[in-house]
Structure 1
């Protein structure tokens, strides 16, 4: 019988579609990268999600985030993303967590129940904790390195963290993970040299904050506010989703039974 995933099944086969439907993927960070990860996974037939993010959609998110429109500004990102998933697949199970993941609340997340973990957050402390917890639970994890201040979407690559270069965030992560005994980690990273954002006070979040009321972590509290564009974080997110789908299916798109 035809359904919304029939074209995907022509590539993957019925066995692999069942594997995706049975998978539970936790995505940490539902922003410019993470939103596209979830979108692609939902459209690929993943059946269960855990969405973790404490942010609300901001006016300045509209330039790059798939969940951001004038109608969704001020709404929690995880709420908007859940609605999108269920519009794609009403049978999906979606758990939302309106929090910022930190070592202090890490114990609230049962990593051993997840089929795959996607790290799409932008702070080193949270990234390290996510990776360490996933590794301890022996759950596959993939991490996104820096996608801000970039213009060349074709520069993204998939590699082990210790084979990355150019990316400033990857450099920090290599050092921190090595110190913690992590021997390998699949990442998506860009070899493009970051662009220096223009200093324009007329559009500065520090001078003209437009964060929605009740926002826990305002841009004014960030050390740096990176520049961004629609076609870079989206590509990173789609690459991440592709790796998850390949890893969850047999023999990287092995067809299984038809």
Structure 2
């Protein structure tokens, strides 16, 4: 029967479309990278999602986040993303979790329920917790390294974490994962040398905070505010989604 996924079925076949429809994917972080991951997975026919983010859409997200428009500023990202998923596929199941994933609330998530886990968060502590929980449950996991302060989307690669280079976040993750005995981890990372953001206080979040009311983690609390652009984190997110689809259907 002709449907919104018919063109995808021409590539993957009916059996794989059924696998995707029955798959449950957890995506941690619904920002510049994670939003595009979820968008591509929903448009590829994945039938069940757990989306995790405590943030609200901010004016400064509009330059790169697929869920960010003037109409969505101030709304919870997981609520906006849920609406998008259901507009694409009304039959999809979505569990939206308004929280920042950390060791303190890790017990609230049952990773054994997931068919795949995507780490698209920014902080090392959260990334490590997500990865370790997935590994303990033998659930496939893919992690995104740094996408900020970069301008060349062609320099993203898929690799094992221990074969990465250049990326400062990947360097930290290699060290911390080695300490924890993790032998391998599929990641998306960029070989582009990150630039330093221009220091212009007239457009700085530190002096002109525009975080929506009720925002828990404000930019003013961050150690560093990276520069970003529309075509870099989006590409990383689409590459991540592509790996998830290939792994679920191979």
- TM (norm. structure 1) is 0.97
- CA offsets per residue over residues 26-49 of structure 1, 9 Å max, x none? 000000000000000000000000
Work out the CA distance in 2 between the residues paired with 1:204 and 1:196.
14
The answer to which structure, 1 or 2, has the higher relative contact order (CA under 8 A, 6+ apart) is 1
- Aligned-pair CA distance for 1:218: 0.1
Q: Is 1:233 aligned to 2:233, yes or no? A: yes
SS of residue matched to 1:241: helix
Show the counterpart of 2:55: 55
SS of residue matched to 2:25: strand
SS of residue matched to 2:104: coil
SS of residue matched to 1:158: strand
Show the counterpart of 2:89: 89
Gapped runs of 5+ residues in structure 2?
Answer: none
SS of residue matched to 1:143: strand
Q: Is 1:182 aligned to 2:144, yes or no? A: no
Work out the CA distance in 2 between the residues paired with 1:206 and 1:158.
34
Show the counterpart of 1:255: none
Show the counterpart of 1:254: none
- CA offsets per residue over residues 167-221 of structure 1, 9 Å max, x none? 0000000000000000000000000000110000000000000000000000000
Q: Is 1:70 aligned to 2:37, yes or no? A: no
- Aligned-pair CA distance for 1:88: 0.1
Work out the CA distance in 1 between the residues paired with 2:105 and 2:218.
20
- Aligned-pair CA distance for 1:10: 0.1
RMSD over equivalenced CA pairs, Å:
0.2
Q: Superposition pairs for residues 1-258 of structure 1, below 5 Å?
A: 1-250=1-250
Work out the CA distance in 1 between the residues paired with 2:6 and 2:96.
28
- Aligned-pair CA distance for 1:85: 0.2
- CA offsets per residue over residues 34-86 of structure 1, 9 Å max, x none? 00000000000000000000000000000000000000000000000000000
SS of residue matched to 2:103: coil
Work out the CA distance in 2 between the residues paired with 1:190 and 1:50.
26
SS of residue matched to 1:142: strand
Work out the CA distance in 1 between the residues paired with 2:97 and 2:84.
16
Work out the CA distance in 1 between the residues paired with 2:219 and 2:29.
16
Q: Number of residue pairs matched? A: 250
Work out the CA distance in 2 between the residues paired with 1:125 and 1:196.
23
SS of residue matched to 1:104: helix
SS of residue matched to 2:94: strand
Work out the CA distance in 2 between the residues paired with 1:210 and 1:44.
34
